[in-house]
Every structure is written in C-alpha cells, then in structure tokens.
Amino acid sequence: MFRYFCFLFILISCSPQKQFPKIEKGVLDLRNWNFEEDGEIKLSGDFEFYYNELLNEKDFEVPRKKIYYFAFPKIWNDYEFNGKKVGSFGYATYKVKILLPLNTPPLAIRAQQQATSFLIEFQNEKFGAGVVAKSKEESLPITIPQIHYYQRSVNLEKNLILQVSNFTHRKGGTWANIYLGTHFQINRQMNIARNTDYFFAGFFFFVIIYHLGFYYYRRTEKTTIIYALFSLSVLLRSITTEDKILTDIPFFMNYDIIIRLEYFGSYLAPAFAMHFLYSIFPKEVPKLLVKSLYSIAILSICFLITPIYYFSHTILYYQIILVLTPLLLNYYIIKALIKKRDYAYLMIIGGVIILLTNFYDYLILNQYIPPSRFAMPYGAMMLSFSQALSILMKYSESFVQNVELTKTLKLTNFMYSRFVPYEFIQLLNKTDITEIRLGDQIQKEMTILFSDIRSYTEYSEEMTPEENFLFLNSYLQVMTPIIQHNNGFIDKYIGDAIMALFSQDPEDAVRSAIQMQISLSQYNKLISRSGLQPVRIGIGIHTGKLILGTIGSNDRMESTVVSDSVNIASRIENLTKVYGSKILISFETFLLLDEPENYSFRILDRVKIKGKKKHISVVEILNGYSETVLELYVKTKSLFENSLRLYMQENFNEAKEGFIKVLEQNPFDKAARLYLERSEHYAIHGLPPEWVT
C-alpha cells in the first residue's frame, strides 16, 4: 500500500503540465490559441519591466526609449537594475502585449497574491488588491487573490499592465500566477481552488474536534491532544495561504493579522509533529529534540511582534526545519519499525508522504519550480489517516493490556508525585527519576542566582488573587527559559522570587542575569498594553560550595540546597534594593569570569553580610541597563570608582565633590546618590560603629 502512495505522489508531481504559450520579450502570441478548446492560459515568461516606475496605459502611448525584461512570476530581490542590486522594497510596472485570436470570447482574469499589493489594467479596466504606491505611508499591503470579468472586445491587440509595490515583506515582486480565460473557465478554476481550501479546512477542523473529544473521554491519552494541536497548525496554514479563505471574514482581511497567523501555524507544526511522534515512540525520539523544536518555535513566535519585514526573514531558516523535521520523523519511525514497535508500519506511510509534500512545497516557496498549489495539506491528511488507523488498532487491543497498563500508570503517577528537577537528577549522577532515593546528596561548587521583583507586595495589592497568579506565571514563563538556555535550572520558585543554580560556568549566570533584565524591558512593554505598571527586578549572584540532596519522607520528598553560599547570594540580591542596582555579583564570582572585559562593571562596595563575620566585595554589572543609560554609567565609571576610593579612605569632603560630578553627568546613578548622602553625613557626624576598615 505504501508503494502505491509514493507512486501516486511522484506521478502527480512529475506528470507533464499543460504547455502554455510563453511570453517572449513582452509579447504573448495567442492567435493560434482556442480558449474554448485549449482552456485558460497561465501567463509566464519575460514581461517588460520598469523598476521604480508606476505606469498606466496612457504612459505607453509614447514608445519607451529603453525596455527591460524580467521573468514572471519571480521575486525581484537581488535583480540588477542599472548596475545596482534591487532590494525587497520598491515598486515596479510589468507589461505584456497580448495578441488574441479572432472571435475571442469575453475574457476574465484571476490573479493570485503578489508582493504585497498589485493593480492590473486590462481593457481600460483596473482591479487589484491593496494600494500600490511609491512609499510605505501611501501603500496598503493586501495579498488576496482577485478575479475580474470583461466584456467582449473587438480589439485583438491588448496590453496587460501590472503594477506591484512592496514596503512590508522581505520578498518583493511577483509570487504567484495570473490566469486568462473565459468567464466559465476562470470561475471554475476559482471554485475548484476555494472548494479545495474549504475541504481541507473542514477536514482538519473535524480532526481537531475528533481528537479533542477523544482526549475528553481518555485524559491519559496525551497523544490525541498533541495531534489536535498539530492539526490546528495545519488548519491555520491552510486557511491563510492559497486563496486565503479566512479573509472571507472581514476582520482577517488585515494583512498584518493574516500573515502572522500563517507564520504562527508554520512555526508550531514541526514541534507538534515531533512531540506527537515522541508520544508514540518515546524510546526512539530524543526528548531534547522535542524541547529544542519547541524552543525554536517559541523564539520564532516572539519575532511576530516585530514588523513583517523582520520576522519574514525567519522563514529562511525555518524552511530548513520544515524540511529537516520530516526527515527526522521518518528516521525515528524507521528505527521504531526495525525494533518492531506497535503501529510503526502505519506511521511510515504518513511520514514519507509528509516528507515528499514538504519538500515539494519548499521548491515552490523558493521558486525552484513554477508556482502551484501547496501539497502539505495532502501529506497532513494522509498522516491523519495513519493516526486514525493506529488509534483504532490500539484500542482494539486495549482490553488485553488493561491490567499491565493499570500497573504502569500507577507506578508512573507514584514516581511523578516525587518529582524533582531533571537537571538535579543529572547532578546526582542518576539517569532516571525512578533512581532517586531519600537522602541522596552531592557536594559541588556552583553559582547561585537570586532574583526578586521590587516592591512586589505593593504591586500585587492592586490585583485579585487570580490576577496575581496569572501575572506571576506570565512573568516566570519569560524568565525561566532564559535560565535554562544558559545551562541553569530553577531550584525553586519562592513567590515572585527565583532561585537558580548553574553547575558549569559562573559566566552562564551573569549572561542569564543580563538577558533577564533585557527581556524584562520587552515584557514591561507587553504588560503595559493591559494597563499594568512596569516591574523592576534585582538579581544577586554568588559562587561557592553547596550540598544538593533530597529531604522529606518516603511518600513525599523534594530537592533542596544546603549551603552558606545560598544565603550570601540571597543577601547580595537584597543589596540591589539598597543601591538601586539591577545586577550585583560577589567578587568571588567576578574572579571566576573568563573574560570580565566583555561586561561593563564597577566595584560598588565592601559590605558586611548580616550573620557573617567576614566582609565581601560586590561588583555591579551594568549591562542590564538600556544603551542610553549604560553609556552614562560607562562614562562616569572612573570618576565613581575614584570617588569611592576617597570615600573608603575616609576623605568624605573630596568624595562628596566627586559623587556630585557623577550625578551631574548621570542622574540615574542611585548608588552615587547614596554615597553622596553618606559622605555628607559622615563628614559632619563621624564614622558609624559598623564602618568597614
């Protein structure tokens, strides 16, 4: 059966297409073409091309002095015009002279999407999508296929003029085909295309409802909910490409909305597909690969808040993922097939077809082959059939396996009730959570990071308990991946505070702190749209020896860290409130940095930690500030540190003058303001008992 599917796909893909007359040097000779018998024609070939000009029929009444030719359809990126390469942004006019046969019936034109607005003039009538203009401010991008009907004309020599402009997308020019035919032919072609889109939309909507319903009654089957999410990503792509049937709803005619939905579906599909396969063959598919695909998808989705031109570039690397993922899917299915896993022989059918259809779409997207309908929905449909068959077979055998499955589920639930972080398991030299025992422990030098939201109690008083939880979760979902991406893991959440551990390199913790502050700025912009006030966090970092282990009882245990170093890191984080700093690290951590010159920093103070006899020096990392503020800190660094040296030498009058100069240049420096107040006070009242010598 599998070989027949492959043969059918290759036959469809490689079968000879209808041979249309080609446009040669801006002329399409159809005098020997019979529309009634030969059908509609696809316009392709060398159009006359006038870059950075928007011309109409009247402009061509006077012959052009110089004529350029350009292939259609084809994007104009990197096209050399007058010795210079054309970028993605710009506008142009395409022109073709069409020589029609005698007794030509009334014609119609169907134009698919172009980048990113177009206007067609033919038989003195104009139609198109969006607003073509010479500037971004005047243009309006809309990439919706259009159709237009014309009356019979006795003139057998006609110009078709196409204006295109793009100030939005990374690819400018012509993306898709334009068809010319009789009213009946063009109308039939449009109906077939739209009915196909509606068929796939209905099919995948049914698949989603089916799997959601299945999950509702069988909550233990995570596979079905994952496949429902995969089908949702395919549905989004199906209704936002081709004839874009989603635009039948007026709200989705907005170009910004529909293209973001299209990319959103494309980003998530590989992660959902690999997660689905992992749920079926967990021993063959690496969990790390699934996490990586989700991380890439989430990172790419974050780009959707940027202008279209920027996030449209992500598809360049994402096309690699869209082709590589089906290859990996088939590789792991073959591994499962070799190991005789249940239902592997069913999954290989859908897997191979997904691979072929995705590769076919890749060729279309990059214009290696002429534009045509995307094949991905066909592959996803075959995968759905494979999934449905596997579910049917699986539950026909469920009665026999019920007893063993119950035992396995009880054991799994019991082990998950003793959950500890996976990184913690690795540090204890364990390979699986089932190996963890009460009292397991290890001593290791690690870097501890504490972060805390400033004045969170006051901040949270204005929110309901539900809003508090929603806010905290949204905040932690931004911060946690940063720590994980930099080789750290969360030891525990303490309300709004985070305690993270880094076992490899102290520099990982410093990078995390900087990225957390940068991401916080972006997060504040996001929550401000919901009427929430921006939040500030302080981060403290220290490196030292600690003991990791498990405490509790046999029925309930958790991971914990016992160390003096943890207390020091927590105290350093508290110092950020005193000095108004974003990131403070201990001098011990600073000395362990391989390349401290990569950071902007300054020595801040030498303080006595509460409950400790020894004093510790703290260093302020300045990279967490915006570029403008950071320049002020860097500019005043030498002056600040010299004033601090005078302060430490008890030369308060001179130190005071220095801190005044610092604040004149950098009014944001709260530490300088604090030292100024101290200098003024100590100059009059003398040294305090706790003065550090």
Residue found by looking up tokens 């963890």 in the block: 436
Task: Please say whether the beta carbons of 543 and 592 come within 8 A.
Answer: yes
Q: Are residues 617 and 646 in the same domain?
A: no
Report CA dihedral (6, 11, 13, 18) to the nearest 10 degrees. -170
Domain that holds residue 298: 191-398
223-238 burial, b if ≥16 CB within 10 A, otherwise e?
bbbbbbbbbbbbbbbb
Residues 6+ away with beta carbon under 8 Å from 560: 548, 549, 550, 551
> Is residue 3 one of the residues assigned to a domain?
no
Q: Are residues 78 and 115 in the same domain?
A: yes
Confidence of residue 394 (pLDDT cuts 50, 70, 90): low
> Is residue 49 one of the residues assigned to a domain?
yes
> Is residue 8 one of the residues assigned to a domain?
no
Residues 6+ away with beta carbon under 8 Å from 211: 224, 225, 227, 228, 231
Q: Are residues 668 and 553 in the same domain?
A: no
How far is it, in rounded angstroms, from Cα 188 to Cα 174? 23
Count the neighbouring beta carbons within 10 Å of the beta carbon of residue 40.
20
Does the CA dihedral 217-219-220-221 come out positive or negative? positive
Task: Please say whether the beta carbons of 666 and 625 come within 8 A.
Answer: no
pTM of full prediction above 0.85: no
Determine the angle formed by the axes of helices 376-396 and 183-217, rounding to 10 degrees: 30
Q: Are residues 104 and 164 in the same domain?
A: yes
> What is the CATH classification number for the domain harbouring 370?
1.20.1070
Task: Please say whether the beta carbons of 510 and 623 come within 8 A.
Answer: no
Q: Are residues 475 and 541 in the same domain?
A: yes
Q: Are residues 559 and 596 in the same domain?
A: yes
Task: Please say whether the beta carbons of 385 and 425 come within 8 A.
Answer: no
What would the two tokens of residue 463 be?
Answer: 């929110």
Average confidence (pLDDT) over 251-273 = 88
End-to-end alpha carbon distance in the chain: 85
Choose the final residue of a domain: 176, 200, 222: 176
Backbone angles phi, psi at 560, to 5 degrees: -150, 165
Tell me: the pLDDT tens digits for 560-592? 787 888 889 999 999 999 999 999 999 999 999
Report CA dihedral (672, 673, 678, 681) to the nearest 10 degrees. 140
Tell me: the pLDDT tens digits for 230-246? 889 889 888 888 888 88
What value does the mean pLDDT of the chain take?
Answer: 84
How far is it, in rounded angstroms, from Cα 489 to Cα 348? 37
Q: Are residues 231 and 132 in the same domain?
A: no
Average confidence (pLDDT) over 382-398 = 69
Confidence of residue 541 (pLDDT cuts 50, 70, 90): very high
Amino acid at 642: N
- Using the predicted structure, report yes or no on whether residue 378 has a pLDDT greater than 80: yes
Choose the final residue of a domain: 593, 624, 655: 624
Task: Please say whether the beta carbons of 514 and 585 come within 8 A.
Answer: no
Confidence (pLDDT) at 561:
80
Q: For the purposes of burial, counting CB atoms within 10 Å of the CB of 648, is it exposed (0-12), middle (13-18) or buried (19 or more)?
A: middle
Tell me: the pLDDT tens digits for 195-206? 998 998 898 899
How far is it, in rounded angstroms, from Cα 630 to Cα 598? 14
| Stronger pLDDT, 1 or 367, i.e. the higher one | 367
Residue 292 sits at the vertex; the CA angle it makes with 289 and 295, to the nearest 5 degrees, is: 155
Tell me: the pLDDT tens digits for 71-130? 999 999 888 877 788 889 999 999 999 999 988 999 999 998 888 899 999 998 999 999
- Using the predicted structure, report yes or no on whether residue 342 has a pLDDT greater than 80: no
Confidence (pLDDT) at 565:
87
Residues 6+ away with beta carbon under 8 Å from 418: 433, 436, 556, 557
> What is the CATH classification number for the domain harbouring 557?
3.30.70.1230
Tell me: the pLDDT tens digits for 634-685? 999 899 999 989 988 888 888 889 889 989 999 988 988 998 898 888 888 7
Q: Are residues 645 and 606 in the same domain?
A: no
How far is it, in rounded angstroms, from Cα 679 to Cα 693? 16
Q: Are residues 269 and 334 in the same domain?
A: yes
Q: Are residues 588 and 643 in the same domain?
A: no
Residues 6+ away with beta carbon under 8 Å from 170: 77, 88, 309, 312, 313
Tell me: the pLDDT tens digits for 498-537? 999 998 899 999 999 999 999 999 999 888 887 788 889 9
DSSP labels for 170-202?
Answer: SS-B--S-EEEEEHHHHHHHHHHHHHHHHHHHH
Q: Is 460 helix (H, G, I), strand (E, B) or coil?
A: helix
Number of compact structural domains in the chain: 4
Kindly give the pairing relationship between strand 90-99 and strand 27-29: parallel
> Is residue 77 one of the residues assigned to a domain?
yes
How far is it, in rounded angstroms, from Cα 188 to Cα 197? 14
Q: Is 159 helix (H, G, I), strand (E, B) or coil?
A: strand
Confidence (pLDDT) at 2:
42
Amino acid at 297: A
Count the neighbouring beta carbons within 10 Å of the beta carbon of residue 289.
17
> Is residue 463 one of the residues assigned to a domain?
yes
Average confidence (pLDDT) over 64-73 = 89
> Is residue 290 one of the residues assigned to a domain?
yes
Confidence of residue 18 (pLDDT cuts 50, 70, 90): low
Choose the final residue of a domain: 567, 593, 624: 624
Element spanning 605, H or E:
strand 601-608
Q: Are residues 439 and 505 in the same domain?
A: yes
- Using the predicted structure, report yes or no on whether residue 215 has a pLDDT greater than 60: yes
Tell me: the pLDDT tens digits for 26-47? 999 999 999 988 999 999 999 9
Q: Are residues 455 and 542 in the same domain?
A: yes
Backbone angles phi, psi at 469, to 5 degrees: -65, -40
Backbone angles phi, psi at 496, to 5 degrees: -85, -5
> Is residue 45 one of the residues assigned to a domain?
yes
How far is it, in rounded angstroms, from Cα 476 to Cα 467? 14
- Using the predicted structure, report yes or no on whether residue 227 has a pLDDT greater than 90: no
Confidence (pLDDT) at 111:
93
Least confident of 15-24, 85-94, 241-250, 361-370: 15-24
> Is residue 417 one of the residues assigned to a domain?
no
What would the two tokens of residue 424 be?
Answer: 């913690």
How far is it, in rounded angstroms, from Cα 581 to Cα 673? 12
Tell me: the pLDDT tens digits for 291-339? 999 999 999 899 889 998 888 888 778 888 888 888 898 899 899 888 8
Least confident of 247-261, 377-391, 456-470, 519-533: 377-391
Confidence (pLDDT) at 397:
55
